[in-house]
Chain A
Amino acid sequence: MNGAHDELADFRRDPNRGSKAINDHCRPKFIRWGLENHSINGADLEDLFQNAFLLMMHNIQEGRLTELTGTLCTYLFGVGKNLIRAFLRRHRRTDWLGENTPPESPGNVQVAADISLMSRQTSDNLWKDVEALGEPGRSLLILTYKEGLSAQEIADVMGYASAEVVRQLHKRARRDLLLLKAKKVLDKQSYQILFLFYKKNLSDDEIAEQMGFSGPEEVKDRRLECLEQIR
């Protein structure tokens, strides 16, 4: 058993003491290093370190961090560097549309405006559904959409084997979130269509046969209507 492993075991035994040691020794080192090497201000570096720490706690608790190759502080630096990389990308975003807006269909500006308005109205409720997803879905979605991490970076900071694993988990989280919302706003038959498509992975053909629709086209139309309703 090496020293690094002991440090992890010590942290598991007494996380309060471990957190304090990290806060006293590792946090200032990380902030100093960040200030010297990146054009990020102290408050943002504090946030990034806090996120690295929270991810480490999740990884320990959920059994994805069971062995250290260095110290806990080295581990936190590794997580923190991924977060910094995403942070810098986010702030140097290529303004390829000329106005730093999401891609919208040419000639379809009204749709984009509707989306924006709808997003503002629904996001207040949607976050509750994201909370209801629990972990790891909650963290995966925040790391993707708020922190701007790629699937590979999320795999690195959350201790998953590969980006592909993250993509699958991400897809599952989005699907579960969609079904959570669908259950609240759709009638039983409409929900059933989405459930069979997203959860049971049935094709439109199979759903048509099972639910007595005229054919896959009708199912597809119904499905897209359902999505319009819940979005």
Chain B
Amino acid sequence: MDNRTETLLELYYANELSETDAVELRHLLDNDPEAAAEWKWQQQIATATRQMKLEAPAAAPKQPLRILIWSSLAAAAALAAWAVATIFMPQQPTVQEAIASSFEHYPNRMSFKALDPTAAAEVPADVIRAFQLYDDPAQYRAAAEALGTIASKYPDHPEYGFYHGVALLGTQNYLAAADALQKTTLSDGPYRVPALYFLGLAQSGAGRYPEARQSFESYLKDKDGIPYRKKAGEMLKVLAEK
């Protein structure tokens, strides 16, 4: 593939292709099988990567960078350990995989959900709308925004912050989710304990492993920490290696 084709494809994916460039690209794809093959390949990669997200580095940078020799030795040791682990040990899921399998939609327990339409009219429309969005996990992104708005507008309702945190977690926005859930864990009420579990997930996603361990442990120690007990234990196992 020549440089011009490379340039045109780069412009295309960066959304910088002009109409003239587009005509040139189409002409190339029609007449150059190598360019057409490369185009197909990049389209496949694009489809696959559009389902992916940037992730935190495998290990948080706990120490300053070491000198090169140390790094080489450490890399060799890590490789050997990895080989042994791969061959002889059962595979432990990665943190991201563990979060994906541990996260579940927290049911909407708002009382107005069960009320008749007349009673529901006493609840502000923006609150009802936010929870309608929350009830559909496909709408987490919009729900997170709407719940964030009502959580700030109605600070007397810490539960809104909790659902805001869960929705943010559903969009894998871990930093913001941890922030929202942390506030709920400091409040009193029925959402404090489940918030500990979801906070642990958010902190795991943000690479804040020691804090995540602490949150899961607090959840397990609490007498009300029942529904997610097994999953919290599994997360602790995954985090033990971090």
- Residues in A lying within 8 Å of B, measured CB to CB: 9, 11-13, 15-16, 19-20, 23-24, 27, 41-43, 46-47, 49-51, 53-55, 57-58, 60-63, 66, 86, 89-90, 92-94, 96-97, 102-106, 108, 115, 118-120, 122-124, 126-127, 129-131, 135, 138-139, 141-146, 148-151, 153, 167, 171, 174, 177-178, 224, 227-228, 231
Contact = CB atoms under 8 A, between A and B. Distances in A.
Contacts of A41: 145
A27 B176 contact: yes
B63 interface: yes
B60 A23 contact: no
B206 interface: yes
Contacts of B46: 145-146
SS class, residues of chain A in contact with chain B: helix
B118 interface: no
Contacts of B37: 224, 227-228, 231
16 contacts: A15-B207, A23-B175, A46-B173, A58-B57, A89-B14, A89-B15, A93-B15, A105-B26, A115-B43, A118-B44, A145-B46, A146-B46, A149-B14, A151-B10, A174-B45, A227-B41
B12 A19 contact: no
Contacts of B51: 123, 127
B14 A148 contact: yes
A148 B15 contact: yes
A50 B26 contact: no
Contact of B61 (A15, A108, A144, A228): A15
Interface in B42-100: 42-57, 59-65
A149 to B, nearest CB: 6
A57 B60 CA distance: 8
Contacts of A135: 57
Interface stretch (B16-24, B108-116, B122-130, B220-228): B16-24
A151 B144 CA distance: 32
Given A119-B47, A130-B52, A139-B54, A103 B211 contact: no
A183 to B, nearest CB: 15
Given A23-B179, A46-B176, A139-B54, A178 B41 contact: yes
B211 A16 contact: yes
A167 B11 CA distance: 12
A130 B40 CA distance: 16
B166 interface: no
Contact of A16 (B16, B171, B210): B210
A96 B211 CA distance: 49
B150 interface: no
Nearest to B19: A96
A10 to B, nearest CB: 11
Contact of A130 (B14, B49, B60): B49
A105 B29 contact: yes
A59 to B, nearest CB: 10
A84 to B, nearest CB: 13
Nearest to B30: A105
Given A224-B34, A231-B40, A123 B6 contact: no
A107 B42 CA distance: 21
